[in-house]
Amino acid sequence: MNKKEQYAAWYRQSIENPSQFWEARAHDYLSCFQPWQKVCYWDYTTADIRWFEGAKLNVAYHCLDRHLQHDAQKIALIFERDEPGQSEHITYQTLYEKTCQLANALLQLGVRKGDRVCIYLPMIPEAVIAMLAVARIGAIHSVVFGGFSPQALHDRIKDADCKLVITANEGVRGGKVVPLKANVDQALEIPTSVTQVLVIQNTQTKVPMNVLRDLYYHEVVNHQPKHHEPVPLDAEDPLFILYTSGSTGKPKGVLHTQAGYLLYAAFTFDYVFDYQPQDIYWCTADVGWITGHTYLVYGPLSQGATVVLFEGTPQYPTPSRFWQVVEQHRVTTLYTAPTAIRALMGAGDQYVTAHDRSSLRVLGSVGEPINPEAWQWYYQVVGEKRCPILDTWWQTETGGILLAPFLGVAEQRPGCAGLPFFGVVPAIVDVAGNITPPDVAGDLILRQAWPGQMRTVFGDHKRFVQTYFRKHSGCYLSGDEAKQDQQGYVTVRGRADDVMNISGHRIGTAEVESALVAYHCVIEAAVVSMPDALSGEAMAAYVVLRADYIWESDLEKKLMQQVSAVIGKFAKPKKIYCVEVLPKTRSGKIMRRLLRKIANHELSDLGDVSTLANPESVTALIDALQKKNISSEA
């Protein structure tokens, strides 16, 4: 059977007989301490999803102990520092020992199965070690991206009721210091359930320590035994919580569990990237996002792969940084985001061609639609037309890749995410739930469960049901708009809901709006997205000020700072417009479609505005914009 035939046969089996298909894959990929009794059960009405019930396993054991017999001296992590010329190789043996030491330390500190541990770290080996150690003892990690502000960190710690935080004195990214410990201090100013903070001394800088709460990581970890018996966990015990934005102001704690997630991470990593044991695999995503969880940590480590862990950014100290890392470590597989590709494309080909890229075999893309121009550059310049481009579509909620142009199976089509992975049944439907004709866009839904799917919104199962399973009953709603052609290829256009994708960062309009409204003089705010050549999408914010507000020239800057403080710098709008009133429908809804058109200067075709309660607001808005009384670049 060639690859195409195998794909077709497996795909059919995975849909017609999921139990049989996934049972076979679980035999290939999972080593359980105790076998499962039932392969799968799901009910999309109550959003009750369970895989491999009865099985006992340990994810950290999978990612470490299993490899010690034959591959103890194999490199697990190639750690590349922010500054060039400083890399460190960490074997599976060492990663195992360091993880066991931290697991022992966590137990000594009183962390128990089911407790939540917040990880707020830069891209350093301890981030991986922390995730694995928490998983090893059956606790639940909640990694918070280091770019989040103290307030965003506070909200996430509070929602998950974390007991302990693992952080570093500071991080370094692109030559800039990230004051992680200071952020944690600020996040914990208003009391939470956190009783202890473990601080990694990552740079020379000394930071204030709270004697009642803070402990140096090396002081509690370094003397611990280098062995720890993995705890057998139930297949459906929680593994981690990861917050992601939705269309309401409050981020959702996406909860993933053990066996199904691990199997899906391992199998998709192996199949999609055509993993070979000698590969040097580099995923540039931060561990603070799902790509970092599934394709930097759990997928590759479960397969015993050698993974590059990069602390820095694509353009520091020069736009050659990525290609220099590729050359130096002989990277075979590169998995990165369109926003990085576009930025590097803008810097010029000479930065790429100055470095030997002959080791590259596969190039992946994730996080947002890749525009055909960036696709072509990635394919032609970076990969010298030798390496296929894997445009992978998935979400925090899906746990792993659902759509991709599988090697040897699908055609290479710029901008098209390709075909469904095994067990994945996509459909494109209109508002009424009818499947659209080929090439007609609609809601991208999934009609069958797959093992890597999220299980609930932490602490709010009702929200899980309502967000994902209500609009089209019996199906999972992705929130994306897509179309599918006659051969089944899916092209994802972007979000269909009030979620933006700015440089691959998922941000809810409502989150930014509530950050703006929390500023003393703002009474109302509406945020819309605009296309942007570099960041894919950019944000425009409209704010209505209190009537008694006295104009200050630096208001815009203050509002930008407000968003940085509440969410993080990456969530800053590109433009802020102050307006007297927002256009609203008679039912009181802000007409975002109109605001989007105005922000994009599409004034000649504003569409149907007959449902507006205040049609005069439109002229006022256009006037305000054209007078440019407020607008300017961030």
User: Contact region for ligand WT7 (CB under 6 A) — 172-180, 270-278, 308-316, 476-484?
Assistant: 476-484
Binder of ligand WT7 out of 80, 391, 498, 511 (CB under 6 A): 391
Q: Phi and psi at residue 630, in whole multiples of 5°?
A: -130, -35
- Residue 279 one-letter amino acid: D
568 beta partners:
148
User: Contact region for ligand WT7 (CB under 6 A) — 38-46, 377-385, 392-400, 585-593?
Assistant: 392-400
Dihedral (CA of 100, 192, 182, 517) sign: positive
| Least separation in angstroms between CB 471 and ligand WT7 | 15
Contacts of 289 (CB under 8 A, 6+ apart): 145, 242, 396
Task: CB nearer to ligand WT7: give 25 or 495.
Answer: 495
81: left (phi > 0), else alpha (psi -120 to 50), else beta? Answer: beta
| Least separation in angstroms between CB 148 and ligand WT7 | 13
- Residue 361 one-letter amino acid: R
* String of contacts with ligand WT7 for each residue 412-431, x by CB under 6 A: -----x--------------
| Least separation in angstroms between CB 335 and ligand WT7 | 10
Q: Residues touching ligand WT7: how many (CB under 6 A)? A: 23
Task: CB nearer to ligand WT7: give 253 or 304.
Answer: 253
Binder of ligand WT7 out of 313, 396, 503, 509 (CB under 6 A): 396
Compute the distance between CA of residue 222 and CA of residue 101 in angstroms, rounded to an integer: 7
244: left (phi > 0), else alpha (psi -120 to 50), else beta? Answer: beta
Contacts of 193 (CB under 8 A, 6+ apart): 157, 158, 161, 162, 163
Residue of 405, 402, 384, 383 whose CA lies nearest to 394: 402
Compute the distance between CA of residue 494 and CA of residue 500 in angstroms, rounded to an integer: 9
Task: CB nearer to ligand WT7: give 80 or 391.
Answer: 391
Task: CB nearer to ligand WT7: give 418 or 583.
Answer: 418
Residue of 578, 482, 593 whose CA lies nearest to 529: 593
Compute the distance between CA of residue 423 and CA of residue 420 in angstroms, rounded to an integer: 8
3-state class of 92 per DSSP?
A: helix
> Applying CB under 6 A, does 363 fall inside the site for ligand WT7?
no
User: Contact region for ligand WT7 (CB under 6 A) — 20-28, 76-84, 388-396, 528-536?
Assistant: 388-396
> Applying CB under 6 A, does 159 fall inside the site for ligand WT7?
no
| Least separation in angstroms between CB 285 and ligand WT7 | 7
Task: CB nearer to ligand WT7: give 304 or 479.
Answer: 479
Binder of ligand WT7 out of 454, 492, 541, 618 (CB under 6 A): 492
Binder of ligand WT7 out of 98, 329, 455, 495 (CB under 6 A): 495
Task: CB nearer to ligand WT7: give 320 or 392.
Answer: 392
Compute the distance between CA of residue 424 and CA of residue 426 in angstroms, rounded to an integer: 6
Element (H, E) at 512: helix 509-517
Compute the distance between CA of residue 508 and CA of residue 528 in angstroms, rounded to an integer: 10
Q: Which of residues 171-190 bind ligand WT7 (CB under 6 A)?
A: none
Q: Which residue has the tokens 């009721």?
A: 161
Strand 333-336 with 280-283, pairing: parallel
User: Contact region for ligand WT7 (CB under 6 A) — 206-214, 304-312, 489-497, 595-603?
Assistant: 489-497
Binder of ligand WT7 out of 126, 480, 498, 556 (CB under 6 A): 480
Compute the distance between CA of residue 14 and CA of residue 8 in angstroms, rounded to an integer: 10
| Least separation in angstroms between CB 111 and ligand WT7 | 27
| Least separation in angstroms between CB 506 and ligand WT7 | 4
Q: Are 631 and 543 in contact (CB under 8 A)?
A: no
User: End-to-end CA distance of the chain, in Å?
Assistant: 56
3-state class of 598 per DSSP?
A: helix
Task: CB nearer to ligand WT7: give 215 or 366.
Answer: 366
> Applying CB under 6 A, does 501 fall inside the site for ligand WT7?
yes
> Applying CB under 6 A, does 535 fall inside the site for ligand WT7?
no
Task: CB nearer to ligand WT7: give 312 or 364.
Answer: 364
Compute the distance between CA of residue 13 and CA of residue 18 in angstroms, rounded to an integer: 7
Binder of ligand WT7 out of 395, 412, 436, 514 (CB under 6 A): 395
User: Contact region for ligand WT7 (CB under 6 A) — 24-32, 124-132, 389-397, 568-576?
Assistant: 389-397
Task: CB nearer to ligand WT7: give 36 or 120.
Answer: 120
Task: CB nearer to ligand WT7: give 96 or 378.
Answer: 378
Task: CB nearer to ligand WT7: give 300 or 369.
Answer: 369
Q: Which of residues 280-309 bind ligand WT7 (CB under 6 A)?
A: 289-291
> Applying CB under 6 A, does 324 fall inside the site for ligand WT7?
no
Token pair recorded at residue 585: 């429908």
> Dihedral (C-alpha) 203, 207, 211, 217: value to the nearest 10 degrees?
-10
Task: CB nearer to ligand WT7: give 501 or 535.
Answer: 501
Residue of 233, 304, 232, 277 whose CA lies nearest to 68: 304
Task: CB nearer to ligand WT7: give 54 or 415.
Answer: 415
| Least separation in angstroms between CB 143 and ligand WT7 | 13
Report the alpha-carbon angle 406-407-410, nearest 5.
55
| Helix, strand and coil in the chain, % to nearest 5 | 35, 25, 40
> Applying CB under 6 A, does 498 fall inside the site for ligand WT7?
no
User: Contact region for ligand WT7 (CB under 6 A) — 323-331, 391-399, 527-535, 626-634?
Assistant: 391-399
| Least separation in angstroms between CB 368 and ligand WT7 | 5
Q: Are 82 and 311 in contact (CB under 8 A)?
A: yes
Binder of ligand WT7 out of 506, 574, 592, 597 (CB under 6 A): 506
Q: Which of residues 202-261 bind ligand WT7 (CB under 6 A)?
A: 244
Burial (Cβ within 10 Å: 0-12, 13-18, ≥19) of residue 497: middle
> Applying CB under 6 A, does 443 fall inside the site for ligand WT7?
no
Binder of ligand WT7 out of 105, 139, 235, 366 (CB under 6 A): 366
Residues contributing to the site for ligand WT7 (CB under 6 A):
244, 289-291, 366-369, 391-396, 417, 478-480, 492, 494-495, 501, 506
